[in-house]
Amino acid sequence: MFEISVTMDFAAAHRLNNYKGACENLHGHNFTVEASVICDKLNEAYIAIDFKELKSIVKSIIDKLDHTYLNDHDYFKKTNPTSEMIAKYIYEQMKEALKNRNCKPSKVSVYESKNSKATYFESTV
């Protein structure tokens, strides 16, 4: 297996419902997303997935979040736009974009700051 990762940024605002503290107020972050896929084969050029292709997939997902109020997105209306749920959302969107391909998402990490991140992955057991 090969794991390929890309890192990209987006900016967005949110507020955390049912959070007893300052984060319940409207605020924003410059989020960093690290998205990883696992691939079981290499192509004839010995590449699992081209970085450019993976970046394009991730960019198409985070472009829908960039410079928005996350609480207004349908996905987050059913939950809370925490870093955990943003990571899960991106993972699920990647899973859909990569179906019928040689690769699948392995994990997505969302950083609210350089010192704080949440990671989503699905168990393989």
Q: For residue range 40-98, what is the model confidence (pLDDT) as tens digits?
A: 999 999 999 999 999 999 999 999 999 999 999 999 998 999 999 999 999 999 999 99
87-113 average pLDDT score: 96
- Supply the mean pLDDT for the chain: 95
Q: Is 100's pLDDT higher than 80? A: yes
Residue 115 in tokens = 């010192």
| pLDDT for res 123 | 83
Q: Is 43 among the domain residues?
A: yes
Within-domain flag for 68: yes
Q: Is residue 21 part of a domain?
A: yes
Residue 79 maps to a domain = yes
Lowest mean pLDDT among 68-72, 98-102, 119-123: 98-102
Neighbours of 45 (CB within 10 A): 6
Contact 110, 116 (CB under 8 A): no
- Strands of the sheet containing 2-14, edge to edge, are 2-14, 27-39, 103-113, 116-120
pTM of the model: 0.94
In total, how many domains does the chain have? 1
Mean pLDDT over 103-125 rounds to 93
Question: Which residue intervals of 1-125 are DSSP H helices?
Answer: 51-62, 74-77, 83-98
Q: Tell me the torsion sign for CA atoms 87, 88, 90, 94.
A: positive
pLDDT at 101 over 90: no
| Residue 125 reports pLDDT greater than 90 | no
Question: 125 lies in a domain?
Answer: no
Distance CA 113, CA 104 (A): 27
Which is nearest to 118 in space by CA: 84, 77, 94?
84
Residue with tokens 């010995």: 46
Q: What is the pLDDT of residue 124?
A: 65
Domain holding 103, by residue range, is: 10-116
In the chain, the percentage of residues whose pLDDT exceeds 90 is 92
Residue 124 located in a structural domain: no
3 found inside a domain: no
CB 72 within 8 A of CB 13: no
